């Protein structure tokens, strides 16, 4: 059973006349009659009752007509979705992201993209960098937004933004009155930091920056999410070095101060498969870049 046979059968079943059905299909009547008989032989059932004066549906024919209409409608929809998807206009886009992207324009980019492309379903998956790399390799996500890492040859990266780390302090902290913070001034402070497994690169950079300032940081608490880090600072559990975008986390019980002579920056990279050809990936990347610029100007 193929779609052509179903279309021929539906035309005859709806017209109940081989001549009219043949004209509708732009084929000859003998060819249509031959194809319908061949179709019945393949199924092993009679679909049409024929006389010299009339054509009628058998019970099996009536059942098949309903199912054939559904199948043809589904096939047409699948064709439309496939063609539109080839132009980045339909389908599913699975995006991995690190937590800080929620403050860097990702929600806004998603909302605008879906408004412009209502046939595209976006699915967000929060993952750290190594998880995103594995998910891209396994084709579990189509693209990702991650921090720096060691990427295999089949995963390519491109920077989309870079911003400095700042010091996050409780507003009542003794250092909160300073305009900038020297890293060495944090030598005796309890630190709140993410586990190394979440981002080995930045974890090691923060440790190295403290060591260069003459001390090994006292890591008192660990948290995986930036919101949790900020909340722990709010409750006076320690200080933290966070990307400057966290200033947008609305909280009047913490403050953010630039680090003096700071060379530590948080970089976000777009990750994708080296052979990725899905137009929606490139199109969404454009939307996010515009949203990132707007977020930085806000």
Distance CA 298, CA 164 (A): 17
Q: Are residues 143 and 168 in the same domain?
A: no
Average pLDDT, the chain: 89
Q: What domain range includes position 29?
A: 3-86
Q: Are residues 19 and 67 in the same domain?
A: yes
Q: Are residues 285 and 257 in the same domain?
A: no
Q: Are residues 143 and 198 in the same domain?
A: no
Q: Please say if the pLDDT value at position 86 is more than 70.
A: no
Taking alpha carbons only, the member of 292, 266, 249, 246 closest to residue 105 is 292
Q: Are residues 73 and 32 in the same domain?
A: yes
Q: Are residues 255 and 199 in the same domain?
A: yes
Q: Please say if the pLDDT value at position 245 is more than 90.
A: no
Q: Are residues 13 and 79 in the same domain?
A: yes
Number of domains in the chain: 3
Q: Are residues 152 and 280 in the same domain?
A: yes
Q: Are residues 293 and 152 in the same domain?
A: yes
Q: Are residues 98 and 230 in the same domain?
A: no
**What confidence category does residue 297 fall into, taking pLDDT thresholds of 50, 70 and 90?**
low
Q: At what angle do helices 29-43 and 3-15 cross, to 10 degrees?
A: 110
CB 243 within 8 A of CB 162: no
Q: Are residues 100 and 125 in the same domain?
A: yes
The domain spanning residue 242 has which CATH number? Answer: 3.40.190.290
Q: Please say if the pLDDT value at position 96 is more than 90.
A: yes
Task: Considering only residues 103 and 240, tell me which one the structure prediction assigns the higher pLDDT.
Answer: 240
Q: Please say if the pLDDT value at position 71 is more than 80.
A: yes
pLDDT, tens digit, 9 for 90 and up, residues 127-185: 988 899 999 999 999 999 998 877 999 999 999 988 899 999 999 999 999 999 999 99
> If you compute the radius of gyration of the chain from its CA atoms, what whole number of angstroms results?
31
Q: Are residues 138 and 283 in the same domain?
A: yes
Given 25, 59, 86, the domain boundary residue is 86
- Residue with structure tokens 């515009």? 290
pLDDT, tens digit, 9 for 90 and up, residues 257-271: 999 987 788 889 999
The domain spanning residue 283 has which CATH number? Answer: 3.40.190.10
- Of 85-94, 98-107, 157-166, 283-292, the one with minimum mean pLDDT is 85-94
HEC per residue, 75-138: HHHHHHHHHHHHCCCCEEEEEEECHHHHHCCHHHHHHHHHHHCCCEEEEEEECCHHHHHHHHHC
Distance CA 229, CA 192 (A): 6
- Residues whose CB falls within 8 Å of the CB of residue 154, separated by 6 or more in sequence, listed in order: 137, 273, 274, 275
The domain spanning residue 62 has which CATH number? Answer: 1.10.10.10
Given 57, 86, 115, the domain boundary residue is 86
Given 86, 118, 150, the domain boundary residue is 86
**What confidence category does residue 11 fall into, taking pLDDT thresholds of 50, 70 and 90?**
very high
Q: What is the pLDDT of residue 52?
A: 82
Q: Please say if the pLDDT value at position 201 is more than 90.
A: no
**What confidence category does residue 187 fall into, taking pLDDT thresholds of 50, 70 and 90?**
very high
Average pLDDT in the 4-10 region?
91
- Tell me the pairing of strands 155-170 and 254-258: antiparallel
């Amino acid at each position: 059973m193929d779609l052509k046979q179903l279309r021929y059968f539906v035309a005859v079943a709806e017209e109940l006349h081989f001549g009219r059905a043949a004209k509708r299909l732009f084929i000859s009547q003998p060819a249509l009659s031959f194809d319908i008989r061949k179709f019945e032989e393949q199924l092993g059932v009679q679909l049409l009752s024929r006389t010299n004066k009339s054509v009628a549906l058998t019970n099996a024919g009536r059942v098949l007509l309903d199912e054939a209409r559904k199948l043809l409608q589904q096939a047409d929809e699948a064709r439309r979705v496939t063609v539109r998807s080839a132009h980045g206009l339909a389908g599913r886009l699975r995006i991995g992201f690190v937590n800080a992207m929620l403050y860097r324009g990702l929600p806004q980019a998603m909302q605008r993209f879906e408004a412009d492309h209502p046939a595209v379903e976006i699915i967000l998956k929060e993952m750290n960098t190594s998880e995103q790399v594995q998910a891209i390799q396994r084709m579990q996500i189509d693209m990702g937004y991650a921090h720096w890492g060691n990427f295999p040859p089949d995963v390519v990266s491109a920077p989309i933004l870079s911003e400095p780390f700042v010091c996050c302090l409780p507003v009542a902290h003794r250092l909160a009155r300073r305009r900038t913070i020297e890293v060495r001034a944090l030598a005796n402070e309890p630190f709140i930091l993410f586990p190394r497994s979440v981002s080995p690169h930045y974890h090691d950079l923060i440790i190295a920056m403290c060591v260069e300032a003459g001390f090994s940081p006292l890591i008192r608490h660990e948290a995986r999410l930036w919101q949790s880090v900020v909340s722990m600072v709010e409750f006076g559990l320690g200080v933290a070095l966070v990307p400057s975008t966290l200033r947008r986390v609305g909280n009047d019980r913490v403050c953010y101060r630039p680090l003096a002579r700071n060379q530590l920056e948080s970089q976000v990279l777009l990750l994708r498969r080296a052979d990725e050809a899905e137009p929606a990936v490139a199109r969404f990347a454009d939307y996010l870049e515009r949203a990132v610029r707007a977020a930085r100007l806000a």
